Structure 1
Amino acid sequence: MPRPLLIFIIILLPITVFFFIPPDHNLLYPEFNSFDITDRNGITLRHVLSKDYRTSSWKGIKEIPPGIIIATIVREDKRFFLHKGVDPIAMARAIYGNIKAHKIKSGGSTITMQVAKIVLNKRGRNLLTKILEIIYALKLEMHLNKAEILEIYLNRTPYGNQTYGIEAASQFYYGKPVEHLSLSEACVLSIIPKSPSILNPLRNKELIKKERDKILNKLLRMGLIDTLTYDCAINESIEFNEKNFIFNAPHFVDFILSQNIDKNCSKITSTIDINLQKNLEKMLFNLIKNLKKYNVNQGAIIVLDNKTGEILAMVGSRDYFDEDGGQVNGCLAPRQPGSSLKPFLYILALSNGIPMSYLMNDTITEFKLSDGTIFAPRNFGDKYHRLVRAREALGSSFNVPAVHILNIVGVEKFYNFLNTLHLSTIRKQPNFYGLSLSLGSAEVKLLELANAYRAIANKGVWTDYKFIRDSRKKIGERVFSEEVAYIITDVLSDNSSRLKAFGDDSPLNLPFPCAVKTGTTKNFKDNWCVGFTEKYTVGVWVGNFDGSPMNGVSGISGAAPLFRDIMIELHRREYPGKFERPKSLIQIKICAKTGLIPGKNCSVIEELFVPGTEPKETCNYCNVGEVRYEPWRIVPDCMDKSAKNIYILHPQDGDIFKLDPQIPYRNQAIAFKVYIDSTIESFSIKLNGNTLCKNTTTFLWQPKLGKYELEVIGNSRTGQKSEKITFTVF
């Protein structure tokens, strides 16, 4: 046999075998075993198929009225009965249109090619996928007649809202069998498969009417209907039987269907409470509506039962049916949590012997990193408070003290601790985040963050959340002690600890015990409010899915009011009780200013301690009047510098710095910063009369105990200028 002929046979044989072997019957006519997902009380959330989670019912071609068939063919493939699976004219027109538009606008697919795409289950729009569709369409035309191909198409094509097949669509949108559809209704359904998300009857009635009228006009022009039939259909109003739209808690149901669940059942009872869910959906919608002027377009809510871990409500976006990201689930989307991550840093600090009385500097501080770069955190609003206790720092969400704490406990240790809380999206190496991890630079999911807060509510024991109701209990993991959990709960529910930042009448001050923390990320891209009572944990996120910043909306003004309303709604029948305090904790009096054992001139408050972490030293600073405080400070950068030629920006007059024995000495340098205007020709910085540097506006000084006088002396054409301040290091 000649070699060319042999090669031809080798190539032709598998092609011939492929085309002559009939298509797999199970691929063309799959079995659909439906089941219902219900809420915790048996109310249906969605009817789905167990195989691929879609709603469908099969109808033979003879059961489908001619109006549906004609409208579908006119809409999708008007030369359906003339081609053998591929329409060269439609294909050429699509290629020309795509080249002209410089993008894929049309695929030129026939009904047979669409059936091939459904059967092959190939996603995406590319050349290889199109070639496979063409080949399989030719095979289908060899083995099936046109009626059989139409039957498969009409029973398996998508009609939007997780509804597949013409009978399911008829029942869903009109509440009646396909046999009872009018011509107008048949035309409406024939429109949807072209683009189910855009041509959604639930959202775009005007567009649907416009497209329906086009189909009816085509049918009239082609002589497929008479004028009387046309007039009746064109004048028929478009109405849907909304009571059949069983599509409740859509983000939550989608979440369930994405999990590894048992498909061999008739019903799945979920954990959600649909009445609560609907209330929260309305509350979120109204909040976003009110904040729209501040460029706030999205939000998400999660509610967990503390005891069982059951998800009671999951609102993933403002509106599931919104074309602009509505189907994104904000409860599962990774976002930076900002300060809402801080409680876990202080949990780690407490677990390592650092109490809530621990005193820290809250002043402009520069942290020198291992690579030589400088990390300079700023407080929200650029407000600083000199010396603060850890309780105040956490309650008022001060950034600089949080970085001090992370610098003490270590980034890697905090990173590992966050992993024990199953925050699955914190996966980059610890040094990638660095000290900014204390300020919530790592992305987390709202659901997982809320569940981590639930571990605090559950006295330091983490268990996984639940979305299906059953009697099985989740295995718990102790991740921190009961004593530490209570102290953090006490801080987060203590309105006095957040007075400096939020005032006395903030949305966080609820009429019952509630531990809560807000978070706002850089440039106002995200804001959070997460917290718990003894019964429930609630998480709220507000922002934009595209990452665009909001206009000045923080956690306290965006997410917090909604959090408050949700908590009041959850407890409207009965307010929750107090958090249970472990008997092993000790409560002693301390100096309000230094956190030490109070001396005779100290202002006294009480603080909770894990045994062994209480202060051992008596305060003697208040006795000599060395510690001075201001309730608020305006950072010098914001002051009017034009009044002076020379200005010391940092430190400020009267500042007090505390050397921390737990932080390496080299990391506690104090930055001297000065402002010099253009009239000053030369200047020097002096400390206690000794010159430190000349003609440089920033100088890092390694502090020593004592009182100091910092002076800047400048020379100009009009004479000598100077600025002087004093500060203390202890």
Structure 2
Amino acid sequence: MLGIQVLKSKKWISFFALIIVSISLFIFSLRVFLTEDSLKENISTLYYSQEENLLFHQSSDLGKLREWNQIENFPEYLINAVIASEDKRYYYHPGIDPLSLVRILKHFIATGRVIGGGSTIPQQLSRILNPSWKEDHKLIRKCKEISFALAITLRYTKKSILEAYLNSVSIRNNSEGFSIAAKRYFGKNIKYLSKEESIGLVVLMRNNYPSEESFHRRVQELSQSLGNEEEVNLGYLESRLLFKNPGSLRNEEIGAENYHFTEWMKHQFPNFKGNIISTISSELNRTIYEIVLSELRVLERYKASNASVVVFEIDPKDKTKIRLVSMIGSRNFFDYDAGQVNGSIAYRDAGSILKPFLYAQAIDSGLLKPNSILEDKEFRIHSENASEIFIPKNADLKFWGDVTMAEALANSRNIPAYRTIDTLGTLEFRKFLEKLGFHHLNRSTDYYGHGLAMGTGGASLFNVTYAYSAFVLDGNLPIIEIGSQGDHKLTVNKVKRVISSETAEEISGILRDSDLRKKAFSDRGFLNFPYPIGLKTGTSKDFRNSWTIGFSDRYIVGTWVGNFSGGSMENVTGNWGAGRIFQSLMRHLVSTSPVVQSKYHHTDSISVCRKTGMRARETCPMISIKMRKSFHPSKVCDLHSDQKITKSLEILSPSNGQIFYLSNKLPLDSQKIPFQFRNLSESERYQILLDESTKINIQQNNKLGINLSKGRHKIEIKNKDTVLQKVEFTVQFKD
């Protein structure tokens, strides 16, 4: 007897264990087949700017517009209206409403027909998530609905199911979800809907195209059931929901200048769905686009038809990240011939724009220092089999003799660059370019040869502008943020060190020094700014491509001008073509943010002789270079040791009649007027007077900066009562 009881007990234990295992497997299978994203199927993809202006929307796979919003953004009275209208017992049933099912079953037994109505929110959501069920018999479809509704109620919270329903239910005109409907019919974000607007949209759920009489009756019934004591403005709801075509989701002022970016985003994240708040600023993109169009109207007479721009903003809180805030791909996205070519990611000859990377690698390899002397003389490059000889030329077809590496880079001398890559090795430089992200080089190194120093391997504006960020960010290539979805950041690339911190600072110091590039570039050209801006230009063979890449302490900017056909322009250099867009663009960026004086943590300024690279004597032709202390030369130049000082103290800058333009939007302290003198050792014999009364004490390196007010000013060098040199100049303010 006892044995039988034990046996029965074991059977019951096995039975309950089987039930527990079955339930566990069922719940496990629900989690496997119903993922966190299962409720978000068939949603649209919408790209917004950082100002939350809609840039582009892409319909779901079913051709519907559906925007996903968190339930916290829906007004409480809208949620209450939906539940009152569709599923009064939503929070109390397991996914199906037993009372409604009993009513439907009674009617089926009595008539043999399945009546509609009684579907809970989980059941309606089941139909939305499974549109193919429409092909099934009504009874089969109802059974599927019940099963799926029970399953999703077990799998998800009531809050998640309701959120999915509010974002997915059909309203009207291919609009699914209240978020899209609120924007199309009321021009509002969902969170700003009024009570009557919410009620009007809820009424459209049952019948997307009701008659006026039916619409009036249902609005009033729903309003009363919610205890709304305010009078509903039926005329307003009619005008918006019954008689007016739905409005555009996109502000018409947000133009096609953003389309290249959204197309690029779709390529980067082809399977991404939902709302994406991008890092692109629609306001900045519009301003830059207008600058591009304005400058191209000047350049088109020189056979330049197109331009592209890329702007990255440095994250002020995290220097390992930058944000893509502007991308202009072409002059006109809708141009029939080549408008949809995105010039910012197209590859083309880069000219001199890659020279900073060549010299940076040479410094890190121990081959050069910023004060190293390079020969700017005739240089012959022999092919591998010595059957051909290539003789490179400078852009001005002149030789400068011995020059420092700093001047060779700042003035974009070609022959010193060819000498450097010849010493470094073309294969080593190619490997370095690939480390920087130039993975498009698909031919042999011998094919590119020494021309890699002059950009013959090509580059895209996006990649080379990104690579320049290493000069600003301590030698590191940063993460690029391009958008976010909720708390999830959309990024490309990872942090990677490519050059040393010291080298990055030395190269950026050279590129920021406008005095170093004076010999090759005009004082009044597009490359001069009243604040520290680092930059480099490039011009490819036959004036096919014009480049300017540069940076402030907050932005990295790349500009390109040329023709998508590859045709030549008429003498449009990097300075004069892309440089003019860069000038206007950088001035705009600086006017919207405070100027930060460049800080140097690894380098100090030192005066060196232009011809020997050694410490400069007062008799030397000298330049000031920022270098790490271990690079500072210990020897004093002996080339000019026997020369005597015969020249008087002289004003080099400003020049007579020069006009300085200052911005009203920037602090005056950050806009000092630059003064430069020659023959500093003679200063003790003379007086330097500003506006006839203020004595000037000359600082180290013959330079100083002074804040001046608006108006005409005068600087004089006097020996007792005799005026030896006088320079008059003007300071003006300009927005």
Matched, 1:305 2:320: no
Of residues 346, 358, 362, the one that matches 2:376 is 362
Query: CA–CA distance in 1 between the matches of 2:495 and 2:372?
Result: 31
1:556 aligns with 2:570: no
- Deviation of 1:290 (Å): 1.6
Q: Secondary structure at the match of 2:596?
A: coil
Matched, 1:425 2:440: yes
Choose from 466, 471, 475 the match for 2:481. 466
Q: Are 2:355 and 1:342 equivalent residues in the alignment?
A: yes
- Output the amino acid matched with 1:620: D
Q: CA deviation at 1:241?
A: 12
The letter for the 2-side match of 1:461 is N
Please give the per-residue CA displacement for 1:53-79, whole angstroms capped at 9, x wherever unaligned.
x8879xxxxxxxxxxxxxxxxxxxxxx
1:589/1:500 CA distance change after superposition, 3 Å: closer
With over 3 angstroms needed to count, the CA separation of the structure-2 counterparts of 1:397 and 1:43, relative to structure 1, is same
**Aligned position for 2:45:** 35
The letter of the residue matching 1:422 is G
Alignment partner for residue 54 of structure 2, among 41, 44, 57? 44
Q: Could you report, residue by residue, the CA deviation over 1:208-231 in whole angstroms, capped at 9, with x for unpaired residues?
A: xxxxxxxxxxxxxxxxxxxxxxxx
Shift of 1:48: 0.7
Provide the residue aligned with 1:323 in structure 2: 336
Counterparts of residues 142-541 of structure 1 (less than 5 Å): 248=256, 249-260=258-269, 263-265=272-274, 267-307=275-315, 308-353=321-366, 354-372=368-386, 373-469=388-484, 472=489, 475-541=494-560
Larger deviation: 489-498 or 566-575? 566-575
Structural RMSD (CA): 3.0
- Residues 431-473 of structure 1 deviation map (CA, whole Å, 9 limit, x = unaligned): 2211111111111111011000112111101024222136658
Name the CA distance, whole Å, in 2 between partners of 1:572 and 1:600. 39
Aligned CA distance change for structure 1 residues 612 and 50 (closer, same or farther; 3 Å): farther
Measure, in 1, the Cα distance between the counterparts of 2:511 and 2:614.
Answer: 22
Aligned to 2:94: none
SS of the equivalent of 1:320 reads coil
How many Å apart are 1:377 and its aligned residue? Answer: 1.0
Q: What letter matches 1:348 in structure 2?
A: Q
Letter in 1 for 2:322: G
User: Taking structure 1 as reference, are residues 624 and 429 closer, same or farther at Cα in structure 2, changes over 3 Å only?
Assistant: farther
Contact persistence 2:403–2:610 (CA under 8 A)? no
Name the SS of the counterpart of 1:292 in structure 2: helix
CA deviation after TM superposition for structure 1 residue 271, in Å: 0.7
Closer/same/farther in 2, CA of residues 566 and 176 from structure 1, 3 Å limit: closer
Report the 3-state secondary structure (helix = DSSP H, G, I; strand = E; otherwise coil) of the residue aligned with 2:483. coil
1: CA distance, partners of 2:638 / 2:449: 37
Tell me how far 1:383 sits from its aligned partner. Answer: 2.6
Deviation at 1:599, TM superposition (A): 5.4
Question: Could you give the per-residue CA deviations for residues 353-412 of structure 1, whole angstroms, max 9, x where no partner exists?
Answer: 311111112123222233212121111131321221111110010100111111121111
Q: Distance in 2 between matches of 1:605 and 1:358?
A: 13
Q: Is the contact between residue 304 and residue 537 of structure 1 (CA under 8 Å) also seen in structure 2?
A: yes
Contact preservation (8 Å) 1:46, 1:247: no
Which residue, 588, 596, 612 being the options, matches 1:569?
A: 588
Identify the range of structure 1 (377-386 vs 444-453) with the bigger mean alpha-carbon deviation.
377-386
TM-score (norm 2): 0.53
Q: Aligned residues: percent identity?
A: 29
Q: 1:168 to 1:514 in 2, by over 3 A?
A: farther
Q: What is the rounded CA distance, in whole Å, between the counterparts of 1:471 and 1:537 in structure 2?
A: 25
Shift of 1:616: 5.0
Confirm or deny that 1:610 pairs with 2:628. Answer: yes
Match of 1:137 in 2: none
Partners of 1:461 and 1:478 within 8 A in 2:
yes
Q: Given the superposition, is the C-alpha separation of residues 530 and 522 from structure 1 closer, same or farther in structure 2, using an over 3 Å criterion?
A: same
One-letter amino acid of the counterpart of residue 504, structure 2: A
Q: 1:601 to 1:291 in 2, by over 3 A?
A: closer
Q: Distance in 2 between matches of 1:247 and 1:458?
A: 33
Q: State the alpha-carbon separation in 2 of the partners of residues 435 and 43 from structure 1.
A: 47
| Preserved CA contact (<8 Å) 1:587 1:609 | yes
Q: Secondary structure at the match of 2:428?
A: helix
The 3 A distance-change label for structure 1 pair 488 and 278 is same
Write the deviation string for residues 325-364 of structure 1: whole angstroms up to 9, x where unpaired: 0010000100111111111011112212311111112123
Q: Secondary structure, in 3 states, of the residue corresponding to 1:501?
A: coil
2:44–2:273 CA contact under 8 A, matched in 1: no
Q: Is the 8 A contact 2:392 2:414 kept in 1?
A: yes
TM-score (structure 1 length as normaliser): 0.54
Does the 8 Å contact 2:53/2:254 carry over to 1? no
> Unpaired segments of 5 or more residues in structure 2?
1-40, 67-172, 186-247, 316-320, 645-735
Which has the larger Rg?
2
Deviations 1:528-568 (A, max 9, x none): 00011010011001000010000111111100011011111
SS in 2 for 1:378: coil
Q: Secondary structure at the match of 1:319?
A: coil
Query: Does the CA contact (< 8 Å) of 1:415 and 1:430 recur in 2?
Result: yes
Once the two structures are superposed, residues 39-58 of structure 1 have per-residue CA deviations (whole angstroms, 9 ceiling, x without a partner) of 01211001112549x8879x
Q: Would you say the 8 A contact 1:47–1:246 is kept in 2? A: no
CA distance in 1, matches of 2:617, 2:397: 33
Counterpart mapping for 1:594-605 below 5 A:
594-598=612-616, 601-605=619-623
Paired letter, 2:370: M
- Is the alpha carbon distance of 1:431 and 1:40 closer, same or farther for their aligned partners in structure 2, counting shifts above 3 Å? same
Q: Which moved more, 1:541-550 or 1:568-577?
A: 568-577
Question: Secondary structure of 1:258's match?
Answer: helix
How many residues of Structure 1 are paired with residues of Structure 2 in the alignment? 419
Q: Which amino acid aligns with 1:343?
A: P
Contact preservation (8 Å) 1:341, 1:440: yes
1:574 Cα deviation from its structure 2 partner: 3.5
Q: Is the 8 A contact 1:425 1:445 kept in 2?
A: no
| C-alpha separation in 1, matches of 2:574 and 2:64 | 40
- Alignment deviations for residues 229-252 of structure 1 (CA, whole Å, 9 cap, x no partner): xxxxxxxxxxx9996696640000
In the alignment, structure 1 residue 542 sits paired with structure 2 residue 542: no
Give yes or no for contact 1:288–1:296 (8 Å, CA) kept in 2: yes
Residue deviations 1:273-327, cap 9 Å, x none? 0000011111111221221111111110000012332110100000101112001
Question: 1:514 corresponds to which letter in structure 2?
Answer: I
Paired residues of 2:55 and 2:250 also in contact (CA < 8 A):
no
Q: 1:541, 1:556 → 2: CA distance? A: 11
1:585 paired residue number: 603
2: CA distance between counterparts of 1:242 and 1:51? 20
Contact 1:591 1:604 in 2 (8 A): yes
